[in-house]
């Protein structure tokens, strides 16, 4: 059901309510409701696996008007029972009255140019641990997307880092970025195209491999 802005604001006063922005990534990147998490029908399975949302979680939605009905139908059919409605008029309604948040994206060659000159730059690699171990940008930090449902996984990230989010192909970058933002980590950028784009510019990056040396029944990771 649609809810007017005043009712939407009352709903989100309850801190247990999760704001889900289910618009396409391109629309989300132009601005979104602060503390919203970007979860679309394509990424809902990741959010469930990460325990970010559960089937009974209280949810309120920001939807794109042209596909609002079908998007909401997806979540209803998927048996999400805590849906409280969606904002009438979508993000445009919010933006006319309230503060909005933004996520910046950068092209992969900009990342390559920034790395040598920014001592506070952190490449946050959100691919799986196995993929990270095979190869990663030198000095990058591994934080798999699957672990980001736990706020404690972000405890060592703070505002003095210039964080560049790197996923496999960029598809889950907005989910990762919105989770960081929700935890108060705002100095972030998304690397367009993710690891696939990095591979297209291999000559501009230095890489490392995490070597595993077996010692008895244990493995020691050596960078």
Q: Which residues are registered as beta bridge partners of 86?
A: 2, 61
The domain that holds 118 is classified in CATH as 3.40.250.10
pLDDT (mean) for 77-82: 93
173 and 88, same domain (yes or no): no
Q: What is the radius of gyration, based on Cα positions, of the chain?
A: 19
pLDDT reported for residue 222: 36
- How many domains does the chain divide into? 2
Mean pLDDT taken over the chain: 90
Residue pLDDT, tens place only, 83-119 = 999 999 999 999 999 999 999 999 999 999 999 999 9
- Residues 110 and 136: their CA atoms lie apart, in Å, by 17
> Following DSSP, what letter does each residue of 24-79 receive, concatenated?
-HHHHHT-B-TT-EE--TTTHHHHHHTTSS-TTS-EEEE--GGGHHHHHHHHHHTT
Tell whether 116 and 86 lie within a shared domain. no
pLDDT at residue 214 in the model = 52
Mean pLDDT calculated for residue range 36-62: 92
pLDDT tens by residue, 163-204: 999 999 888 899 999 999 999 999 999 999 999 999 999 999
Q: Please write the tens of the pLDDT for every residue from 131-171.
A: 999 999 999 999 999 999 888 888 888 778 999 999 998 88
Write down the pLDDT at residue 201.
Answer: 92
> What is the torsion angle, in degrees rounded to the nearest 10, for the CA atoms of residue 174, residue 177, residue 178 and residue 182?
180
pTM: 0.88
Count the helix, strand and coil residues of the chain and give each as a percent rounded to the nearest 5. Answer: 35, 25, 40
Point out which residues pair with 207 in neighbouring strands. Answer: 137
Considering the domain architecture, whether residues 19 and 38 belong to the same structural domain is answered as: yes
**Based on the domain organization, do 122 and 215 belong to the same domain?**
yes
DSSP at 17? P
């Amino acid at each position: 059901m649609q809810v007017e802005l005043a009712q939407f604001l009352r709903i989100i006063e309850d801190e247990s309510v999760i704001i889900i922005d289910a618009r396409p990534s391109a629309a989300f990147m132009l601005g979104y409701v602060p503390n919203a998490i970007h979860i679309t029908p394509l990424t809902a399975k990741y959010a469930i696996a990460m325990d970010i949302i559960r089937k009974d979680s209280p949810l309120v939605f920001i939807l794109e008007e042209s596909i609002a009905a079908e998007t909401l139908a997806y979540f209803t059919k998927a048996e999400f029972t805590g849906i409280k409605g969606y904002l009438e008029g979508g993000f445009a309604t919010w933006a006319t009255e309230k503060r909005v948040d933004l996520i910046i994206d950068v092209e992969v060659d900009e990342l390559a140019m920034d790395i040598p000159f920014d001592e506070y730059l952190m490449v946050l690699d959100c691919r799986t641990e196995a993929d990270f171990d095979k190869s990663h940008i030198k000095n990058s930090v591994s934080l798999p997307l699957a672990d980001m449902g736990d706020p404690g996984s972000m405890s060592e990230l703070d505002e003095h880092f210039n964080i560049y989010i790197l996923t496999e192909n960029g598809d889950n970058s907005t989910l990762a970025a919105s989770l960081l933002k929700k935890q108060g980590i705002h100095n972030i950028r998304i690397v367009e195209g993710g690891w696939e784009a990095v591979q297209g510019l291999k000559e501009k990056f230095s890489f490392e491999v995490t070597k595993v040396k077996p010692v008895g029944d244990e493995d020691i990771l050596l960078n």
